[in-house]
Amino acid sequence: MLTKNIEIMKTIKVKVRISNGSAPDSIRVEIKNMDTRKEIEYESATSFNQDFNIESGRYTLKLFGMNAINGKTEIEVLGSFIRGPFHNAKRVTTKPFITELFYFEI
């Protein structure tokens, strides 16, 4: 009899709130499983609240883009994590260029 390991998917949520509603260029999210090297990519020029279904494992999440002049972007990563996200799950940036890196285990 053959048995197959079935991986239960976990859900993480990435919330991005752009102060004026839209960015001058798209905000890009890259989620990479450090064990399998699988990647998920997502991008949006407007605020978003997006769910991602991922396997258990160790991940990096990179989020980058641009703020409008005098703009502000709030970023939050939510889920049932074993470890992390490091260093904070919620971040606010007013810098012209957004570059945020998260590490977590789920």
User: What is the span of the domain harbouring residue 46?
Assistant: 10-60+88-105
Cα-Cα-Cα-Cα dihedral of 66, 68, 72, 77, to 10°?
Answer: -30
pLDDT at 5: 63
Q: What is the pLDDT of residues 42-87, one digit of tens each?
A: 999 999 999 999 999 999 999 999 998 899 999 999 999 999 888 7
pLDDT value for 2:
56
How many domains does the chain divide into?
Answer: 1
Residue 96: inside a domain: yes
Partners of 99 in the β-ladder: 64
Whole-model pTM: value is: 0.87
Do the domain assignments include residue 76?
A: no
> What mean pLDDT, rounded, does the chain reach?
92
- pLDDT number for residue 22: 83
Does residue 72 sit within a domain?
A: no
Please say if the pLDDT value at position 15 is more than 90.
Answer: yes
